[in-house]
Chain A
Amino acid sequence: MYSETVMDHFNNPRNQREISDADGIGEVGNQKCGDIMRIFLKIKDNIIEDASFQTFGCGAAVASSSMATEMIKGKTLEDAWEISNKAVAEALEGLPPQKLHCSVLAEEAIHAAINNYLEKMGLQPWEEGPGSCTGCGGCATE
């Protein structure tokens, strides 16, 4: 049911750890739905120097978190913000339809972590664009 890339990221998750002195932390999802994703960022000069995650959830949720952290490392905050759930799913060589919300969760977690950093810096958090999936969350239809 999962692509080889999903299984690889599930079995060998990248960046799966806590960054204790993270500059930005974003947590999304809820336990009721069965997915919680927490992303940690280490930021220097507007560049994401390091990223990591903790995830409670299914194989797709773990793989999405792993892939998302790989994708944002080394990017500027602006570029990281632009990474869409679709890009995460595509990088994983696709997700089953009922699991697409896991990639949405990854996008939301990145946004939450960036905004957490901006708020800590005393800056205005960025707003979700019109095309964003925020609020969909997969479980919102419940």
Chain B
Amino acid sequence: MRYCSSLVYLRITHVEGIFLLTKGYCTIRRYYDMRDEMENKRQIYLDNAATTRTHPDVVSAMLPYFSLHFGNPSSLYSIARTSRTAIEEARRKVADALGADEKEIFFTSGGTESDNWAIRGIASAHGKKGRHIITTAIEHHAVLHTVEALGKEGFEITYLPVDEFGMVSPESVEEAIRPDTILISVMLANNEIGTIQPVQKIGEIAKSHKIFFHTDAVQAIGQIPVDVRTMNVDLLSISAHKFGGPKGVGALFIRRGLRIDPLLYGGAQEQKRRAGTENVPGIVGLGAAIERAATLMPEKADRMVKLRKRLIEGLLTIPESRLNGHPTERLPNNINIIFDYIEGESILLLLDANGIAASTGSACTSASLDPSHVLLACGLPHEQTHGSLRLTLGEETTEEEIDYVLDIVPKIVQRLRDMSPLTPKKLRTR
């Protein structure tokens, strides 16, 4: 009887499976139709540092794990084993992309959780040994606000300065180290200005002092080579949606043998280190996305660098404009430029009216009205931090789009400069 009902059950799931896959196909079809529609309206997406489009191949890989292979990976029956296998497959892909071992990859809900876990987990497990943490002034808020919270709990935090290009010097790391330093956290590449940090050297310094070293690599994956061994890192954070994966999933690399406390307590998932039923479709998406990103990276990076050069050179022909960040040591897809006498949010609104999606470090786009901490750390005076424009290219960005942007931006800058009381006469057209 039991055998019989399970047969019936299997039959239904099979039929349903075909139905669901058909529906999945329709969803993807609809996506392409929507995309065509958007393209007709001329939508140019240049905010890939904020998030990327989940690649349709990644979505296809994920779809069966919603309604077809929905089993809880911790369970024993066959549909659960399918989920378990899928997770381990994704883990292998992430490990391969980072030069790590599968046992060193732990899935999380994203970059923010990974950063929180790395820092809090080390602080909690090694707080008895020392209470000093070194980080930089230009970290993402997921790191900065976490160490600030630890500061209130009795930890001492050193925020390393950066030079005008947003670069941390390894010497400053060496100098900041104290006998009670337990953790150094320096991002691999900055999200606003794209500056790539000398992480390998900092890693060597940390290693020689036997201090744990964490790097937030969220912006770097799929753009520059990332290898946990050559970089000498103990902990590394990644987030799927920054390289064509879905939102709400990421991973933390934890070097084998490293003692770290959990951030989330509960079940025995992830080697008893990160509780909570695994986000199976998300993890599958992360695996598919990172494998794809790693394969395409060399070719993509070359293309990005060429497009970036064209865009930067074109934009810098606008008088009284400057590039933020490092001229060469920067992410292939990052452009961050300041235009004097105008304000960033106004630039964004006019870009949007012309079908271009971009970003700014301007205070006026944030609820807090605080100007960009990154630009301030690079030594820009307060009053100059308002007019920055960040354009971050993606794999879909075309030369034609760059030319369109180069046609539109000077017009917008001129329009706003004509409106601004700060603009000198020589830059006005009226």
Contacts and interface: CB of A to CB of B under 8 A. Distances in A.
Contacts of A139: 369
Given A34-B343, A57-B346, A62 B419 contact: yes
A42 interface: no
Given A31-B383, A56-B420, A62-B419, A98 B345 contact: no
Interface stretch (A9-17, A82-90, A114-122, A126-134): A9-17
Main SS class of interface, B: loop
Given A54-B421, A56-B341, A56-B343, A32 B364 contact: no
B4 interface: no
B349 A10 contact: yes
Interface string B269-282: 00000000000000
B420 A34 contact: no
A27 B421 contact: yes
Given A17-B430, A36-B421, A57 B369 contact: no
B342 interface: yes
B386 A54 contact: no
A56 B422 contact: yes
Contact of A59 (B346, B369, B371): B346
A99 B368 CA distance: 11
A55 interface: yes
B324 interface: no
Q: How large is the interface on B (under 10, 10 to 19, 20 to 34, 35 or more residues)?
A: 20 to 34
A38 B346 contact: no
B343 A54 contact: no
A57 B387 CA distance: 9
Nearest to A10: B349
Given A57-B346, A98-B369, A138-B369, A34 B363 contact: yes
Contacts of B419: 13, 16, 54-56, 62
Given A16-B419, A54-B420, A56-B420, A34 B346 contact: no
A58 interface: yes
A99 B419 CA distance: 19
A96 to B, nearest CB: 8
A37 B421 CA distance: 7
A98 B362 CA distance: 14
Tell me which of A7, A10, A31 has the highest count of chain B C-beta atoms within 10 A of its own C-beta. Answer: A31
A17 B429 CA distance: 12
Given A32-B382, A34-B371, A138-B369, A58 B346 contact: yes
Nearest to B417: A56
B353 interface: yes
Contacts, number: 67
A142 B371 CA distance: 11
Contacts of A58: 343, 345-346, 362, 364-365
Contacts of B1: none
Contacts of B346: 10, 57-59, 62
Given A32-B383, A34-B362, A34-B386, A56 B421 contact: yes
Nearest to B422: A56
B367 interface: yes
Contacts of B371: 34
A57 B364 contact: yes
Given A31-B383, A98-B367, A59 B342 contact: no
Tell me which of B353, B368, B386 has the highest count of chain A C-beta atoms within 10 A of its own C-beta. Answer: B386
A62 B353 CA distance: 16
A57 to B, nearest CB: 5
Nearest to A34: B386
A3 B420 CA distance: 23
A123 to B, nearest CB: 25
Interface in A15-42: 16-17, 27, 30-38
Contacts of A37: 421
Contacts of B369: 33-34, 98, 138-139, 142
A11 B341 contact: no
A59 B430 CA distance: 21
A36 to B, nearest CB: 6
A38 B423 CA distance: 12
A7 B52 CA distance: 27
A97 B383 CA distance: 23
Nearest to A11: B353
A34 B363 CA distance: 8
Interface in A49-85: 54-59, 61-62
A18 to B, nearest CB: 9
A7 B346 CA distance: 11
Contacts of A32: 382-383
A34 B367 CA distance: 14
* Shortest beta-carbon contacts, A-B, top 6: A31-B383, A58-B364, A58-B345, A54-B421, A56-B420, A38-B421
24 contacts: A10-B346, A10-B349, A17-B430, A31-B382, A31-B383, A33-B363, A34-B343, A34-B363, A34-B369, A36-B421, A36-B422, A37-B421, A38-B421, A54-B419, A55-B419, A56-B419, A56-B422, A57-B343, A58-B343, A59-B345, A59-B349, A62-B346, A62-B419, A98-B367
Interface of A: 7, 10-11, 13, 16-17, 27, 30-38, 54-59, 61-62, 98-99, 138-139, 142
